Structures are given as C-alpha cells and as structure tokens.
Amino acid sequence: MTSSDVLFKPFKIKSLELANRIVMAPMTRSKAPAGIPGEANAAYYKRRAQGDVGLILSEGTVIDRPASRNEGNIPFFHGDAALAGWKGVIDAVHEAGGKMGPQIWHTGSVTSFLSDWLPDVPVESPSGLEAPDKPRGNAMSDEDIADTIAAFAKAAADAKHLGFDVAEIHGAHGYLIDQFFWDGTNHRADKYGGKTIAERSRFAVETVAAVRKAVGPDFPIIIRLSQWKQQDYTARLATSPAEMESWLAPMADAGVDIFHCSQRRFWEPEFPEIDGENGLNFAGWAKKITGAATISVGSVGLSGDFIGSFSGEAVSNAGIEKLLTRMERDEFDLIAVGRALLSDPHWASKIRTEKWDEISTFTPNSLGELV
Ligand SMILES: Cc1cc2nc3c(=O)[nH]c(=O)nc-3n(C[C@H](O)[C@H](O)[C@H](O)COP(=O)(O)O)c2cc1C
C-alpha cells in the first residue's frame, strides 16, 4: 500500500457508489448571476470530477422561500431557469464520471460578511435573532415553518429528478437549521424550542423526514452539522456523548444516512476529557454514537483554517499523514476538502499519484475566480 491508498478505497451507501473517499466540501462562490448557474459553474465542477474527486458537494444553493439567501449571486435551487442550470452541472459532472449532490440551504437571519446585499423582504429565523442579543427580521410562524420544510423537501425531490446522486441538507455554521439547534438563537416556547438540544432539533428532524419522504428509501441523504457557529466559534450544541446522541439519533431515525461533521481543523478531538488529545473528532464520535457513515473536514492539506483565509491570511501546503492515520483506524468514512480543491481542481489525482510538489498552493486570491 502506498501511504494514501486508504483515501482511494471505494465507498458505497444505498444507491451511491464512490470511487474514493475524497469529497469536495460545499463552498459558496457567489458566481451564479441572478441565482442561475451556467456553463462556467458546470465547467468548474466538471474539472473536479476530472480531477478524481469521489463526491462533489455543491456550494450552498437555496430553497424556495422569499428570503432564503443572503447574497445576490448565490444560486437558487428552485425555478425553471436555475434547475435547468443545475441539470447542466450534473450532466457535465456525470460526463466526467463524477458523483455530485447539491447542498440545500436557507441562510436564516445571517448577514453575509462578503457583501451588503439584502433580500427585498425581512429575513426569518426561529426567534427573530441573528445571534444572541442581536434582533434581526421576523420570528417564523407555524405556517412559515411548514412551508420551509416543504421547500427543503421539494428541493431534494428536484435534485433526485435532475439526476443528482445525493442531497445534502445544510444544518451547520449558524444558518437557519442551526439557529433552531442553538439555544442562543432559539427562544421559542412552542414545540420547536425547548431547554434541550433534542427539543430544539425538532425542526431538523421534521425537515429530514420530509426530505426522506420526497426522495424515497434508496437516495442517500447527508446533513451537515457543526458545533461552532459563525456567530460564536466557541459555541457547542452537544457537550457530552449523551447529548450528542440525543441530537443525532433522531435525525438518523428520520432518514439521515451520512453525517457531515464540520470542524475547522479535523484533528481536534471532540471530547478530549474522555479519550485524550488524540481522541475521536466530531465525525468519529458521530459515527461511534449513531453507527451512520460520517464525513470529516477541516484544513486538510493546509497549514491554517478557512476562517483565516477570509481575512486574507496566507497558508502553505501541509502533509496529510494525520488524516491517513485517522482514516486507517476507520474513525470516519469520507473526508471533505475545501480550499485545497478551490485552487487546484486536480488535488485528488495529484495525491493519488503522489505528485506532492505539483499541488498548487491555496491563496485567498483564488476565492475571487472559478479556477
Ligand atoms: C469560499 C468558501 C465558501 C464556503 N461556503 C460554504 C457553504 O456554502 N456551505 C458550507 O457548509 N460550508 C461552506 N464553507 C466551509 C467549507 O465547506 C469547509 O468546511 C471549510 O472551508 C473547511 O475546509 P478546508 O479547511 O479544507 O477549506 C466555505 C468555505 C470557503 C473557503
């Protein structure tokens, strides 16, 4: 075995068969004019399929709600024109032998830190808060909630009809679903709120159940989750394995096949007080607790995390030995790669063929173009 062979083992779950364990992390590019993905977007994703990425997750793409996005060039995942654009994307990826799913998203009440674009109706969230003590927009009514859940399900059904291989629900990073999870932004007194993470998960569980109903039993569903929020990097939804179980198990029961556990640095242990500084990360614990497949992520192949990249911090390429060690011990099933794949579409094939020196280094400038 060459050292990176563990990354290039096939993986199968339900109807999804992947040639290897490398996933392109979902990355907003704000390059879909008027919300419609076009040829440039299709070519961008196709290059990653040609570059041996096992599974491509699209940038966040939003559901059919009046204020579901926080930036003008984020793609829609609704409406004939946008869906025709996405059909062009998945056909191009399939032509190159790739597999792909859209990341289905609602930005809740979060303001974009990249632009001052505003939707033309008030934003919505569980309690009309963007962050703790920071009111913004409307608290959602029961009707808003039911309509939002239906819009997630419709988007997933459309993904399947267009030919996508999987769908990911974006439940992380402080956006709408995460605003329900987090006690800092969910103060509801109804069945969608509550003191415990299990109670505040109801919105996500109902969303997953509706998506499952819409796509049928064999189409894999991923949900992306994070302890951290962009509103507070130190926030945690589950502070013990028992709490994590009460958060994740109902979502697995409702139909999640793969938990995509977002960390900024994949090597950081989730509960070091239990299994030490080299202990399981978030994806490791999620797999151990639920038995479901998991994806890890965070600074693979790079020396610094992605939040630093948004403020222009330079990074250098780094080795992947720590990743291989964790994958060899089967801690998680798949690994998502973000920035390294933004600057070098052929990152995966260069890892496979051990052309370490040929990997282009990520620079914050690559955020501006679709390389
Ligand atoms: C430009 C950019 C856009 C991103 N957009 C999204 C997004 O739309 N949805 C999401 O879940 N994460 C998003 N992320 C986070 C990435 O998916 C990933 O978790 C993060 O970059 C860490 O991986 P990396 O260290 O390999 O870059 C974004 C990251 C970057 C750099």
pLDDT band at 311 (very low <50, low <70, confident <90, very high): confident
Q: Which atom of ligand 1 is nearest to the CA of 25?
A: 17
Q: Bigger pLDDT: 303 or 38?
A: 38
Active site residues per annotation? 170, 173, 175
Which of 27, 62, 367 most suits a substitution to test ligand 1, by most atoms within 8 Å of the C-beta?
A: 27
Task: Give phi and psi for 147, each to the nearest 5.
Answer: -70, -35
324 pLDDT higher than 70: yes
pLDDT tens per residue, range 73-126? 999 999 999 999 999 999 999 999 999 999 999 999 999 988 899 999 999 999
pLDDT tens per residue, range 141-174? 999 999 999 999 999 999 999 999 999 999 999 9
Cβ-proximal residues to 23 (8 Å cutoff; 6+ apart), any chain: 53, 54, 55, 56, 57, 295, 297, 334, 335, 336, 337
DSSP string for residues in 42-54: HHHHHHHHHTT-S
pLDDT tens per residue, range 201-258? 999 999 999 999 999 999 999 999 999 999 999 999 999 999 999 999 999 999 999 9
Nearest to 226 by CA among 278, 196, 268, 167: 268
Q: Which atom of ligand 1 is nearest to the CA of 310?
A: 31
**According to the model, what pLDDT value does residue 2 have?**
52
Structural tokens at position 164: 């996508």
Nearest CA to ligand 1 atom 29: 27
| Pocket lining for ligand 1, CB < 6 angstroms | 25-28, 59-60, 103, 170, 172-173, 224, 262, 297-300, 302, 305-306, 309, 337-340, 367
Largest separation between any pair of C-alpha atoms in the chain = 56
179 pLDDT higher than 60: yes
Nearest CA to ligand 1 atom 11: 26
Ligand 1 mean position, distance from CA 305 (Å): 10
313 pLDDT higher than 90: no
Long-range contact set of residues 188-193: C-beta below 8 Å, sequence gap at least 24 = 188/126, 188/127, 188/139, 190/142, 192/126, 192/145, 193/126, 193/127
pLDDT band at 1 (very low <50, low <70, confident <90, very high): very low
Which of 28, 267, 342, 363 most suits a substitution to test ligand 1, by most atoms within 8 Å of the C-beta?
A: 28
Ligand 1 mean position, distance from CA 293 (Å): 20
Nearest CA to ligand 1 atom 7: 27
Share of the chain above pLDDT 90, in %: 92
Ligand 1 mean position, distance from CA 323 (Å): 18
Q: H helices within 169-239, ranges in order?
A: 176-181, 197-200, 202-215
pLDDT tens per residue, range 45-64? 999 999 999 999 999 999 99
Ligand 1 mean position, distance from CA 189 (Å): 33
Q: Is 48 left (phi over 0), alpha (psi -120 to 50) or beta?
A: alpha
Tabulate helix, strand, coil % of the chain (nearest 5).
35, 15, 45
Give CA–CA dist 127/124, Å, rounded.
Answer: 8
Amino acid 165 reads D
133 pLDDT higher than 70: yes
Q: Which atom of ligand 1 is nearest to the CA of 264?
A: 22
Give CA–CA dist 28/60, Å, rounded.
Answer: 6
- Tell me what the mean pLDDT of segment 8-18 comes to: 98
Mean pLDDT of the chain: 96
